Structures are given as C-alpha cells and as structure tokens.
C-alpha cells in the first residue's frame, strides 16, 4: 500500500478532480482525528468540512517544508479547537498537543527553557527548521538500521520527557547508564548532522555540547519540535501493515509504542481510519457532501480569476 500525495500545482490551479482525490484519500483519517476529540460524529463531520474548505482557501500559500498531510492535519487541529471553544465545552480537557496555533500556520514557536530565554529571538524560524531536519534525518537513519528499540528510547526521552529510570524499566535495559549511553550517542550524531547542514553557522556553537556530557541541545524544546513536526511518524502503509497483522515484530515494537504509549494523534487517526472496515457507505455520503461544498467554492473562485 503506497502513500498518496496530491499534485500541489493542480490543487493551486483549483482542479476539481485533484481535490476530489484529496477528499477520498484524507477524509477518513481527518474524521477519525476530529471524532476522537469532539466525541460526536455529526460535529466531527462539520469540523472536517471546515478543515477541507480551509485547505482549499489556503492552498496558494502552501509551505513545501511540510507534507500535505501535515498541512491538512494542522488545519483540522485548529478547526477542532475552534469548534470546542464555540461550544464552550469547559469540561473537556484539551491535551497539551491541542493548545495553541498549529505549526503549519505559525512556524516560529517560543520556548520557556532557560537557554531560550537567554537567547531570546535567536532561536528563529531557521533554528526550528534545523532541529526538525536533523531529528528527522536521525530517525530515518535509525529506521534504516532497524534499531527500533533505540528509536523507542529516544522518542520516550525527547517526546515523552521520560526519566532515564522510567525508560530503563520500560524497555528492560541493563540499567540507567544504558539509557544515558543511547542518549549521548544520539546527541553526538545530531550535532554531526547539524554541522553538515549549518557549517560555520552560529547555531552550531549553541548545539556544540562538549563531549563530557553537557547536553545543551536538550535546552531547546525538542518535545514540541518532535511532536509538531512529526519527525518519527511512520508512513501510513506501515500502520496499514500493523492493522493487517503483517508487520514484523521489530518495526511493530516502535509503531505500537508510538501509537499506544506516545499516543500520537495523527497516527492514531490513521489507525482508526484503516480499522474502520465496513463503514465505506457512511464515508461515501460525507465525501459527496464535501465534494459539493468544495466544488461550489472552486467554481466561485474561478469566476473571479483573471482570464
């Protein structure tokens, strides 16, 4: 099962067929994401409709730094929050990943770590991009090497902010020093990757932790970057293998940890969608509704475009 992504140029040209493909490929997972949060099917459908219309309206400013799926989920996240606020659901506790603007719309994030306060504005948009790039590259290397236990450990430390002792016990490692060793080697590799991408840049002095264990890289809000930039999210076809029961145990170790313990909202939505066998008829009705609203908007826009 291959992961499909649309032709952005065709979307920006407001081609009906390409937008219909978007609706067919992404509607189910967006609905699963929204329904987990609003708890009501009809409300979730309304959120998805608003999100897809928002995607159509904003496609001209699509940022290629993100995948199209990130773009869609970022908008859906914000529309979900808007819905909950309108409903004034004060008893619903929004989890931390649902607070604040999406990184799709606001790339620069402020952190509250001591180092970030000292540096102030120096942790700019480029710094955020650099951290995301090197983390994603490290994850890809680790995946290729099939070091899934190592990937679990680093995700627990960086994204989950687990203590070394918690990680040691969860993954039945030798002791806490084994966890520290994995973290040290990961940080060292991240600094190497940063040096390749930013040779001579002032950011390297900030990243350049000494070899005696000074972990200044962790002063940056890696948790937010790891989560918001989705640096470790497996491709949809991997989740499909998990649902089908055809995934190997090593890859399954990480994906199950990512889903069930890290509770990645985007990947959980993909799993919910892939697991919803027998609901195609219901989804088709929603797609038809979305298609009609999208078509009306696209046609209205084309009527105002210069010839």
pLDDT of residue 44: 92
* Alpha carbons 51 and 154: distance in angstroms, whole number: 33
Which domain range does residue 46 map to? 1-103+277-307
CB atoms within 10 A of CB 291: 17
pLDDT of residue 104: 45
| Residue 50 maps to a domain | yes
Confidence of residue 192 (pLDDT cuts 50, 70, 90): confident
Please give the structure tokens belonging to residue 58: 């904003």
pLDDT of residue 298: 77
pLDDT of residue 108: 33
SS3 state at 106: coil
pLDDT of residue 96: 47
Domain count, the chain: 2
* Alpha carbons 269 and 283: distance in angstroms, whole number: 15
For the chain, strand residue ranges (E) read none
> Which of 49, 11, 53 has its CA nearest to residue 289?
49
What average pLDDT does range 244-256 have in this prediction? 96
- On whether the CB atoms of residues 243 and 275 are closer than 8 A, the answer is yes
Residue 167 has pLDDT above 70, yes or no: yes
Asked if residue 304 and residue 251 are part of one domain, the reply reads no
Asked if residue 216 and residue 131 are part of one domain, the reply reads yes
Asked if residue 244 and residue 134 are part of one domain, the reply reads yes
In tens, the pLDDT along 85-128 reads 877 644 444 444 455 544 444 433 334 444 444 444 454 567 77
Residue 171 has pLDDT above 90, yes or no: yes
| Residue 110 maps to a domain | no
Asked if residue 195 and residue 72 are part of one domain, the reply reads no
Query: Which parts of 211-263 fold into alpha helices (H)?
Result: 222-228, 236-244, 249-260
pLDDT of residue 66: 84
Please give the structure tokens belonging to residue 180: 């520290």
Model pTM score: 0.75
Confidence of residue 213 (pLDDT cuts 50, 70, 90): very low
Asked if residue 126 and residue 250 are part of one domain, the reply reads yes
| Residue 207 maps to a domain | yes
Lowest mean pLDDT among 91-95, 179-183, 245-249: 91-95
| C-alpha distance from residue 150 to each of 93, 239, 276 (Å) | 32, 19, 31
| Residue 226 maps to a domain | yes
Asked if residue 215 and residue 136 are part of one domain, the reply reads yes
Asked if residue 52 and residue 156 are part of one domain, the reply reads no
| Residue 67 maps to a domain | yes
Helix-helix angle 16-38:41-58, to 10 degrees: 140
What average pLDDT does range 136-143 have in this prediction? 96
* Alpha carbons 179 and 182: distance in angstroms, whole number: 5
pLDDT of residue 92: 44
What average pLDDT does range 11-18 have in this prediction? 91
| Residue 109 maps to a domain | no
What average pLDDT does range 132-139 have in this prediction? 92
| Residue 108 maps to a domain | no
Q: Count CA atoms within 13 Å of residue 23 on its CB side.
A: 27
Asked if residue 188 and residue 62 are part of one domain, the reply reads no
> Which of 150, 159, 140, 152 has its CA nearest to residue 225?
159
Asked if residue 226 and residue 297 are part of one domain, the reply reads no
Residue 224 has pLDDT above 80, yes or no: yes
Confidence of residue 225 (pLDDT cuts 50, 70, 90): confident
In tens, the pLDDT along 45-72 reads 999 999 999 999 999 999 887 889 999 9
Supply the Cα-derived Rg of the chain in whole angstroms: 21
pLDDT of residue 279: 66
Residue 73 has pLDDT above 90, yes or no: yes
Asked if residue 281 and residue 259 are part of one domain, the reply reads no
Cα 251 to chain centroid, rounded: 19
| Residue 270 maps to a domain | no
pLDDT of residue 204: 54
Residue with tokens 């806490």: 176
Confidence of residue 21 (pLDDT cuts 50, 70, 90): very high
Asked if residue 150 and residue 60 are part of one domain, the reply reads no
What average pLDDT does range 256-276 have in this prediction? 93
pLDDT of residue 88: 61
Q: What is the secondary structure of 54-78 as a DSSP string?
A: HHHHHGGG--TTS-HHHHHHHHHHH
Average pLDDT of every residue of the chain: 80
User: Residues with Cβ < 8 Å from 5, sequence gap 6 or more?
Assistant: 67, 68, 69
* Alpha carbons 235 and 69: distance in angstroms, whole number: 11
* Alpha carbons 128 and 141: distance in angstroms, whole number: 20
Asked if residue 67 and residue 130 are part of one domain, the reply reads no
């Amino acid at each position: 099962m291959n992961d499909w992504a649309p032709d952005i140029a065709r979307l920006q040209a407001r081609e009906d067929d390409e937008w219909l493909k978007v609706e067919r490929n992404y509607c189910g997972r967006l609905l699963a994401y929204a329904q987990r949060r609003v708890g009501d099917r009809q409300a979730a459908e309304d959120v998805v409709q608003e999100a897809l219309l928002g995607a159509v309206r904003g496609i001209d400013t699509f940022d290629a730094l993100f995948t199209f799926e990130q773009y869609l989920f970022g908008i859906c996240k914000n529309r979900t929050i808007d819905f909950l606020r309108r409903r004034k659901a004060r008893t619903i506790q929004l989890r931390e990943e649902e607070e604040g603007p999406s990184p799709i719309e606001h790339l620069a994030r402020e952190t509250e770590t001591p180092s970030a306060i000292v540096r102030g504005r120096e942790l700019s948009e480029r710094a955020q991009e650099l951290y995301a790039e090197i983390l994603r590259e490290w994850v890809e290397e680790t995946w290729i090497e099939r070091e899934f236990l190592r990937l679990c450990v680093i995700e627990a430390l960086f994204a989950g902010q687990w203590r070394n002792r918690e990680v040691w016990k969860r993954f039945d490692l030798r002791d806490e020093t084994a966890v520290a060793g994995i973290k040290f080697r990961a940080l060292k590799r991240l600094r190497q990757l940063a040096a390749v991408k930013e040779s001579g840049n002032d950011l390297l002095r900030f990243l350049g932790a000494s070899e005696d264990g000074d972990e200044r890289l962790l002063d940056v809000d890696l948790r937010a970057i790891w989560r918001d930039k989705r640096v470790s999210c497996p491709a949809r076809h991997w989740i499909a293998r998990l649902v089908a029961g055809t995934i190997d145990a090593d890859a399954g170790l990480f994906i199950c940890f990512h889903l069930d313990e890290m509770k990645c909202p985007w990947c959980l939505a993909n799993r919910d969608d892939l697991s919803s066998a027998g609901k195609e008829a219901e989804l088709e009705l929603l797609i038809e509704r979305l298609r009609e609203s999208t078509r009306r908007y696209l046609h209205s826009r084309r009527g105002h475009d210069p010839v």
